[in-house]
Chain A
């Protein structure tokens, strides 16, 4: 059953240099219980996509297209209605828990408040439930920690509290935007393992946003690679990584050193020439054209066609055949 259907989502921002399209014609579907990753470098539109789905775009931005949750278009909802959706049906976890937690209140009180707001439970019930949640997200000694203030917790523990809050109302979808980017690698693994296990146990769907290809590879069933606000490649995670086909995805992969590389195998990293274009200057046509080895005049006037190269594996590139051939021969 389709839980979330995003169709032709475009996010436009009013900037000093005029309106800029930060997300362009993005479409994807998410089944109940499915996990999807969105990966790309900073500024490619990952967070704005998440914010558009949650109705939290900045003042200077708006969304066009449709975002349907179980068939209902969220983009037509009032702020009151969206307030009910957030927390109740879509939970969120962000990169920096410190900015989303209130430093003046105990973590117990903050989780309880979210619950009482959305679920109308009484105080005693809320306390029992908070203890259960803290235990579920792996906080040791919940009866003690329920009275802690955010600054008394480590970064990893704060992120666990954020996850407890996001899950407190039993949402159908969790959106996690760079949830481990600020954390050490061992803590990152603990948090991602926790999220993955909870998602599976609770039968939730998830959108995991990350700039880290390894994080995406290890944690989601499907992946979307974004560049310049557009989807350039998408499909089942393992198929996509086994057959990277868009020149940008290929370049991104080759730019990252891997711990199983050997010095002999890789003395130089591949770089992607040039820099990410300014939002207001994004070209018509393919957003990657100015940095692409395969570019021709045909890439410039119109958006590239989406080519299906295998079941569910789509690539938005006019020259996908050439890029694939080159990749296979490398």
Chain B
């Protein structure tokens, strides 16, 4: 008896042993990532021997897809589960329930080596441009790292790729021989983005990529994200607590609260005409200039 035998479950005598397969989400060929009913629960260490350990429902049933070249934003306040969701999508966390399909492949079901190979197609950029770069490595190595592990590229070809992505993010060839501390916060975030780009990924997951930056520098990085999309058709999953940042970059947005999406839709529409009370509260709290 196999799952592929449609008669087995219905006609068989012992139908209880047959797993009723949930319908797998239908993947459109232009879909880059499909997140289906993802749950991530953490067990906190028990405070006392007599009390049950606490379960944190960090992500509690989230579903969405991002099409090729799209930019999907997730906004919400601290602790609502944004970073956990990002790590789930990146395959950096096991899931409590649900699935994440990248170009039709369930990444959490892949063998380790296959996942490692697939990783070049989806890369992550973190908030902290200071913590995420190894201070002992020169920029050339930092940026080349993702391809070093994956590809058997020759040294000069690798160098050419490094220079290409550094240029794409507005840095110079001469920057390859410098260390991270020789750069400003915005430049370090550019280095992190260059590293994410070097594998020519289809998807970039960016978790609060501009939150640690001053506004004039933040503007440079936001413009860069737009340019990369225009030029290379990169797909984004952008996580931010800043509604204006998400509005600027994303064409679709989800508002997250306590592990779930309370509202989701085209950015302009959600911002112009929020339906959920939480979205309304969030929007009303943003201090605006004028009005």
Contacts and interface: CB of A to CB of B under 8 A. Distances in A.
A211 B244 CA distance: 16
B189 to A, nearest CB: 13
Q: Is the interface of B mostly helix, strand, loop or mixed?
A: helix
22 contacts: A41-B214, A186-B281, A192-B287, A214-B286, A214-B287, A217-B288, A217-B289, A217-B290, A257-B219, A257-B247, A258-B244, A259-B247, A259-B271, A261-B247, A262-B268, A263-B268, A266-B248, A268-B226, A271-B219, A272-B216, A275-B186, A276-B214
Interface in A179-203: 184-186, 188-189, 192
A99 B241 CA distance: 24
B248 A269 contact: yes
A260 interface: yes
A259 B244 contact: yes
B185 to A, nearest CB: 9
B222 A269 contact: yes
A320 interface: no
Contacts of B282: 185-186
A298 interface: no
Interface in A230-256: 241, 251-253, 255-256
B289 A214 contact: yes
Nearest to A190: B285
Contacts of A144: none
B283 A259 contact: yes
Given A41-B215, A259-B247, 10 more contacts: A184-B78, A241-B289, A256-B219, A256-B244, A257-B219, A258-B288, A258-B289, A261-B244, A263-B251, A275-B217
B272 to A, nearest CB: 9
B134 to A, nearest CB: 23
A212 B222 CA distance: 17
B288 A214 contact: yes
Which residue, B282, B283, B288, has most C-beta atoms of chain A within 10 A? B288
A213 interface: yes
A308 interface: no
Contact of B287 (A189, A261, A266, A271): A189
A76 interface: no
A102 interface: no
Contacts, number: 97
Contacts of A215: 287
Contact of B245 (A184, A188, A252, A257): A257
B268 A255 contact: no
A84 interface: no
Contact of B243 (A188, A211, A259, A269): A259
A151 interface: no
Contacts of A330: none
Interface residues of A, number: 38
A147 interface: no
Which residue, B216, B219, B289, has most C-beta atoms of chain A within 10 A? B216
B244 A185 contact: no
A261 B226 CA distance: 16
B223 interface: yes
A252 B215 CA distance: 7
B28 interface: no
Nearest to A251: B216
A42 interface: yes
Interface of A: 41-42, 184-186, 188-189, 192, 211-215, 217-219, 241, 251-253, 255-263, 266-272, 275-276
Contacts of A189: 284-285, 287
B177 interface: no
A241 B219 contact: no
B93 interface: no
Q: Which 8 A-B pairs have the closest CB atoms?
A: A214-B287, A269-B219, A255-B219, A257-B248, A184-B77, A189-B285, A272-B216, A257-B244
B281 to A, nearest CB: 6
A260 B115 CA distance: 41
Given A186-B281, A255-B215, A257-B247, A269 B223 contact: yes
Nearest to B248: A257
A55 to B, nearest CB: 28
B218 interface: yes
B220 interface: yes
A185 B289 contact: no
Interface string B187-225: 000000000000000000000000000111111101100
Contacts of A185: 77, 241, 243, 282, 285-286
A271 B289 contact: no
